[in-house]
Amino acid sequence: MADESQSRVARRKAEKKTNKNKSSIWKKIGLAILGLIAVVAISVIAVFSYYIFTAPRLDHSLLGDPASTKVYDIDGELFADLGQERRTKASYQDLPDVLVDAVLATEDVRFFKHSGVDVRRSIGAIFANLSGGFGAEGGSTITQQVVKSSLLTPEKTMKRKVQEQWLALQLDRSYEKEEILEMYLNKIYYGGESLGGAYGVATAAEMYFGVTDLDELTLAQAALLAGLPQRPSAYDPTHSPELAQERMNTVLNLMVRHEKITQEEADEAAAVDVEDMLNIAERTTTPYQAFIDQVRIEVEEKLDADIYNDGLEIYTTLDPSAQEHVEYVLSDESPIAYPDEELQSGIAVLDTKTGAIQAIGGGRNRQSGGFNMAIQAKRQPGSAIKPILSFGPAIEYLNWSTYQQIENSGPYEMAGSSAVRNWNGEYQGNVSARYALQQSLNVPTLHALEEVGISQATTFAEGIGVPIPEDGLNIRDGIGGSKLSMSALDMAGAYSAFGNEGIYNEPYAVTKVVFGDGREENLKSEPVAAMSDATAYMVTDMLRSVVESGTGSSANIPGLPMVGKTGTTDDNVDVWFSGYTTNYTIAAWTGYEDSTQPVPANHTSISRELFKNVMTEISAGIETDDFEMPDSVVRSPVERGSNPPQLPSDYTPDSQIVVELFKRGHEPQQQSEQFDQIDPVTSLSAEYDEDANQIDINWSHSNDQDVNFIVKYGKDGSTGNESQTSDTSFTISQVDRGDTYTIEVVAVSSDDDDLASEAKRIEIRVPEENDDDEPDETDEPDDPVDEPDEPEDPEPDPDPGDGDEPEPPEDDNDDEDNGNGNGNGDNGEDENNDNGDNESDEE
């Protein structure tokens, strides 16, 4: 029994010990959890405290309606006062109850009850963010939205959200609710880009409905205005009336839910068609809006400032006369014949030397704030890219000359893709780089890109501002028909570097910005050496050939030293011309907003016409210097067809000599031996035919030279008569009896009369009538020929004239230039493509 009792006691002790151990473990776990919670709480408090500590102060000057932004042209003259014409301020007393009810039901129904932050709404937003990711739902009150638009940046981060709530609490303590609502309704953006845009509810009411007294707003109008700020561009009733109608109905339903109106009132308002409510008055829009689009972009990207809200002074590069003319050629009064109202064009005009944007043509029939075809439209560049990706890099990195011989024997084959062909279907074997660019030939262009390499071509293009796709270029980009896309402004910037001795300036419209506190920021771009001056000049000289006798000849401006290049993509979807003088660079693009719709075949010259018209206008009355060849370039004669290039010999026909450009130190040194000295004639003889009263002349010549023969003859030692023949015989008819004839025969090149052999001469005495002696014949006599005795009683010649000369045979041996070089672009060919109909970069 004692043992059993002791056993029970031992078990009880063991159970107590086990329970004690379990309790100790749970206590430790609990303490650990509490500790972790405390750490997290302290961390959260620390982070939130840091966010609050680093929040901007509540600057009351930023809460009101900001000062307008003043924009000045290149001469410092004010041409736009932004914000002043876009904003009509309304006080709280001007706001009708129907508008206030619509806004609060939509944006912040407990606005007059919370202290700046709606806790219930914030908790709902937290759950939405947990399920949809941070930023899925904002939960911001009207007070928070005022803070965000006035004091904070728009990014969706935890830091910004904490600072927004902290500042909202301060704002709510500092201002009456009515003042905060007034701030909100005067600041909010209501869309309407096509009408110039509207900041503030009073401006929006006037812009959309023609309402200047807000008390006149109907329930339907108030509901539409209340719904616009959520997505002002998407719900714009002038562009998307169906979406605007849906949004208006949503606001009406919210007003019913929050007992602001009855269901009957909502139904009556919903029955009103949005388009019937609109009363769009003709508004005074900002002048030169296409240019201001670029100003806005630069100020936002470089300074993170808003030209419509920040009250700036902006100094620009705008040339008003150039801008006005660009807008004129894109207007309904344009001298350019457009086929329809839908065809668009974009134009960018730069100062070649500085990159300063002088004018921007944003498109035809363009409403203020609409899509800008010169800076926003990114389209395939077509053949306008050829100097940038192929010929420029080849000259820069491979030291090519303008004579460089490039393969052009047939279509360019690519594995896994269709072959690339020349637009004209012609393949002449090797052609010069100049001729390939002049005639915009695809095959040699791709061979050039292949040889220089995609990597080096990319480096070259990036250096002059070409936007390279993230996944890089491929070989087809060499003819502008693949992944690469550019705006007219991009194109003008790239071409300006060729005209500026290889110095690239990123195009810029803003020179200086002055902030409200007096701080100044200089926004001029810095010049960068993108290529050698030799490359720039040689490309320029090749582009001169394009406009003088190539695909761009219709854009040529007589008397103005200018160059340029055409560009047309497959099926004429995008049509370009980009060119420059030493003063200006202009890029013009033509096409439809639908990037699959082709430009009509008989209107593919429009980009060239735009360029020519604008360049002629802005160049009038100012001196335009020609492009000056730098010392790093040598102009050298080359014997046509030689590969590698060789100097012509003394016997090379002129027709086989071209003059091309070489980088100094890379010009040809070796002289060609293709053409030898022309052999003289042999076995020259002359015989008098008494029956026909004529002299028959015969000679021999080697058959391995392509020559003609010049026969000179006359009496008494002169050779005043001259004829040319390809035969080895000649006849002098109706000769004078008793006279001595001197005959001289010279072999000349059939291609070049200046290349001639040594002359061979013979003399023959024509016997007098009744003279029994044989006629004398002398082959190059050293002594003078004795004059014959004068006959006592000569018979009169029935036809005593100078004799009938045979008509020289037609010269059928003029060789057509095969494109292996063409001097300064003049190769005797005229294969212009003025209408651009055939210049499709991909067959």
Residues serving a catalytic function are 107, 383
The kind and range of the H/E element at 52 are: helix 2-53
- Pairwise CA distance, residues 82 & 312, whole Å: 9
675, 660, 653: which is closest to 814 by C-alpha?
653
Helix residue ranges per DSSP H, 152-283: 158-174, 177-187, 201-209, 219-227, 241-257, 263-270, 274-277
Residue 414 forms beta bridges with which residues?
417
Q: Which residues of 22-58 are buried (b: 16+ CB within 10 A; e: fewer)?
A: eeeeeeeeeeeeeeeeeeeeeeeeeebeebeeebeeb
- Establish how many alpha carbons lie within 13 A of residue 729's alpha carbon, considering only the half-sphere containing its beta carbon: 6
346, 355, 344: which is closest to 317 by C-alpha?
355
> What six digits make up the tokens of 449?
């890109």
| Max CA separation in the chain (angstroms) | 193
- Pairwise CA distance, residues 576 & 593, whole Å: 15
- Pairwise CA distance, residues 743 & 731, whole Å: 11
> What six digits make up the tokens of 384?
């306008």
289, 284, 327: which is closest to 307 by C-alpha?
289
- Pairwise CA distance, residues 441 & 408, whole Å: 9
Decide: 660 and 402 in contact? Cβ < 8 Å.
yes
- Listed in sequence order, the residues at least 6 apart from 599 whose beta carbon sits closer than 8 Å to its beta carbon are 343, 572, 573, 575, 590, 591, 592, 606
Decide: 347 and 617 in contact? Cβ < 8 Å.
no
Decide: 805 and 714 in contact? Cβ < 8 Å.
no
749 φ, ψ (degrees, to nearest 5)? -65, 140
Give, in degrees to the nearest 5, the angle at Cα 47 between 42 and 50: 125
Instruction: Compute how many other C-beta atoms are within 10 angstroms of the C-beta atom of residue 725.
Output: 15
The beta strand positions in 569-718, using DSSP E, are: 575-580, 584-591, 633-639, 657-663, 682-689, 694-700, 707-715
The kind and range of the H/E element at 823 are: none
